Structure 1
Amino acid sequence: MSHGTHLREAVARPGTTPVIGVFDMLSASIAARHYDALFVSGLGLAASHYGLPDIGFIAWPDVVSFVQRLRLAFPDHHLLVDIDDGYVDVEVARHVVRALEQVGASGVVLEDQQRPRRCGHVAGKRILPLADYLAKLDAVLEARTDLVVVARTDATDEAEMVRRAAALAATDADAVLVDGIPSTAALRRVAAAVGSTPLVFNQIAGGRSPALSLSELAELGVGVAIYSTPCLFAAHRAVDDALTRLRADDGRLPADSIGVAESQDLVARNLVRDPVPGPRSALTSART
């Protein structure tokens, strides 16, 4: 079974599928112990790889390289990848989709923002004319073989959110994401607009959208819940707390810290241990 088909089947099951944002291999190693689906977050990648805000600095080869490492370590997990606006150009977007499918991505999220882009939960977003975005989306859909494609709008006006959600649902996209939905009432209107197309909801601490449980999201008609930032924000807090404590204790390491053995055991699980069967890759063998 292909990675795209595997993800589609998960989304089709009753309830809301949680997808956890990761920003490096260590965060992914921890998240993979708890959840079956991982999300390559643009915000997380910008912060961890570049030390910059999520305003369009990410280079697509870095994303492809990261996904390749993820797939090698986690052959059975779903990998949904944020590709921003497809890195501006339509031909680049097509190329990136093909590259990501080749290295084992399960799906991508393509947004309709204009440059300079912004995180979906901050002020200052501008969106492409709908016809321009639909042309880019059609090119991406044509380029993929079996990759799940999530069409995303960053419209901020609620009426435009609903209008664009309906237009995206009318395409061959596998799911629709309206980022920054401000209320449960707006979420219900968007869900009605997309009809039977799976709806994706992005949850970010401190973001524009209400914090909702998986049960609440299922009742509202959401098929996939992306948790973009719990790992990133937890790491931010934990590192700051640990170094504050180290300074306060005159450089003495805490006795209750994770030790080297536990840390190495976590990442040792990512080693490829099975022999490669003939000319076929271990990944191909594992997925068929």
Structure 2
Amino acid sequence: MHAQAEKQTVASHGAEHALPAFPFGWEHHKDRHCIWIVSPEGYIHSRAFEDVALGLHYAFAELGGSAPLVTDPRDWNGRVPIVYGANLLPSVAAQWLPPESIIVNMEQVSAESSWINHRYLGLLKKFAVLDYSERNRQGLAKLGVPAEILDVGYNRHLTRVPQTPVKDIDVLFYGSVNERRKNVLVALQASGLNLVHLFGVYGTERDAFIGRSKIVLNVHHFDAAIFEICRVSFLLANGACVVSEGNIHDPEVAAFAEGMAFCDYDRLVETCIELVRDEEKRSAIASRGFGLMCERQQATILSALMARGG
């Protein structure tokens, strides 16, 4: 019966509504997928997807299945890809991706983002789509792309940052810089704090800087101000004290309000200065953040999504 239903579902590929990501439940999907991080040659920033993709990889394993993490389509080995970084694909990818492929959107859905373009939206409309943010999901729906939510969660293997006994970095910020981010970084430097900015640094090299930092800073890139849970989750999983721009009345922010130091944009520098001087408060925030992250088990989240057939 599943085979017939699957045939009918695949036949509907390209219809107005996207395919469900995981029809037929866990048994059908537990060893059916690989997790593909689109990695164009010479483009190091694909590694920005690693932490969240690893969380999903570990979740499959924890539930008794498998979803190997790959960066080359030649390593799919007959599995159906769950795709991270589809915004890097050409539009012709729709012709050779398996119909059951699942795209995980990691881009903020904002008119300011150059990634939310005709090419990428055209690809999203042809496949099942998962997203980490309800605000993103609503934005995609307005653009004709239905999506399901796959919350970003925790797995114990993500706790891996080596912590140094002496934190010699006051504030760490990593990521690209536009004008609104630059203004904060310049002000932090002017305040006399030891600020380190990383760009294009990933994996264990980045982890070492996190372990040396009193504070890790998160600043919105776009005015849309969609909470960067994909960036922050790994930090919380490793006991970092995170200072973040954010409105605690935003439901996606409110879920982490007790485990991060949220403030308005114009108070970011002041908040960093206060926390650099208060080790006890930093430690308490980091501890609560780790606890909140641990409550969001990625395996439980994935299992619930599978049960819904989403």
Query: Does the pair score TM above 0.5?
Result: no
**TM-score for the superposition, normalised by structure 2:** 0.31
**TM-score for the superposition, normalised by structure 1:** 0.32
